[in-house]
Chains A and B, each alone.
Chain A
Amino acid sequence: ELQLVQSGVEVKKPGESLRISCKGSGYDFTNYWIGWVRQMPGKGLEWVGIIYPGDSDTRYSPSFQGQVTISADKSISTAYLQWSSLKASDTATYYCARHVGMRGVVLADYWGQGTLITVSS
């Protein structure tokens, strides 16, 4: 069974660093893009960026470039989203999603359960 299992709820203070994870199973993790999507409380979906674990090719939506870092460890089928200095405005649920397709045109077909991050002093 294909699964994307994300790390648990996080409560952090502004300025702290954080890395959340997304572990894939039931498919060839190396050969599918993994993307991240943000959903702020009560709001819509925002595409953050994406990584191809096979060669670590990473792309960011301009809105998130420089704000987060996406990485992956294909040896343990896990992708990561990290912040070096959190802000209150980073409070949201973050979803990882497997993407199918060719570089440039890829579509999220399976999603993780989401990781809720709360940043508050």
Chain B
Amino acid sequence: EIVLTQSPATLSVSPGDRATLSCRASQSVGGNLAWYQQKPGQAPRLLIYGVSSRATGIPARFSGSGSGTAFTLTISSLQSEDFAVYFCHQYDNWPQYTFGQGTKLEIK
């Protein structure tokens, strides 16, 4: 099983500032890494796929980068609606897909 480790567990950031979330994989996932946003009581929403491609309707302030085993989600200028939990997800190791444990992004 590929284990995804996200850091930090909680990130406190002020609105308008930049947030950088990390995801590290226990082995290479190639380019098959995605990021999801989840708000309380809601289903996850796809933000980024293929490491760096934004999903339909996702604002340009969200960007993904990385390769192999180390990945980053950056939110360039935090808006109030961005405070949520973020999960990374590898869809490389079929059918043993896994998610990271999540990073909670909270208002500072």
Q: How many A-B residue pairs have CB under 8 A?
A: 57
Known A-B contacts A44-B87, A105-B32, A106-B91; A61 and B44 likewise in contact (beta carbons under 8 Å)? no
List of B residues within 8 angstroms of A60 by Cβ: 95
Known A-B contacts A45-B87, A106-B91; A61 and B97 likewise in contact (beta carbons under 8 Å)? yes
Q: Which of B14-22, B65-73, B75-83, B99-107 contacts A (4 or more CB under 8 A)?
A: B99-107
Q: Are B96 and A109 in contact (CB under 8 A)?
A: no
Partner of A105, one of B1, B55, B94: B94
Rounded to whole Å, the gap between the CB of B44 and the closest CB of chain A is 6
Taking CB as reference atom, which chain A residue is nearest B41?
Answer: A114
Known A-B contacts A109-B46, A113-B43; A59 and B91 likewise in contact (beta carbons under 8 Å)? no
Known A-B contacts A44-B102, A95-B43; A107 and B91 likewise in contact (beta carbons under 8 Å)? yes
Q: Are B95 and A45 in contact (CB under 8 A)?
A: no
List of A residues within 8 angstroms of B45 by Cβ: 111
Q: Are B98 and A105 in contact (CB under 8 A)?
A: no
List of B residues within 8 angstroms of A104 by Cβ: 94
Chain A interface mostly:
strand
Partner of B44, one of A95, A101, A106: A95
Asked whether A47 is an interface residue with its Cβ less than 8 Å from the other chain, the reply is yes
Rounded to whole Å, the gap between the CB of B30 and the closest CB of chain A is 9
List of A residues within 8 angstroms of B98 by Cβ: 47
Q: Are B34 and A44 in contact (CB under 8 A)?
A: no
Q: Are A47 and B97 in contact (CB under 8 A)?
A: yes
Asked whether A62 is an interface residue with its Cβ less than 8 Å from the other chain, the reply is yes
Q: Which residues of B contact A (CB under 8 A)?
A: 1, 32, 34, 36, 43-46, 49, 55, 87, 89, 91-92, 94-102
Q: Which residues of A contact B (CB under 8 A)?
A: 37, 44-47, 49-50, 59-62, 95, 101, 103-114
Given A107-B46, A109-B49, 12 new contacts (CB under 8 A): A37-B44, A47-B98, A61-B95, A61-B96, A61-B97, A62-B96, A101-B91, A105-B91, A106-B91, A108-B44, A109-B55, A112-B43
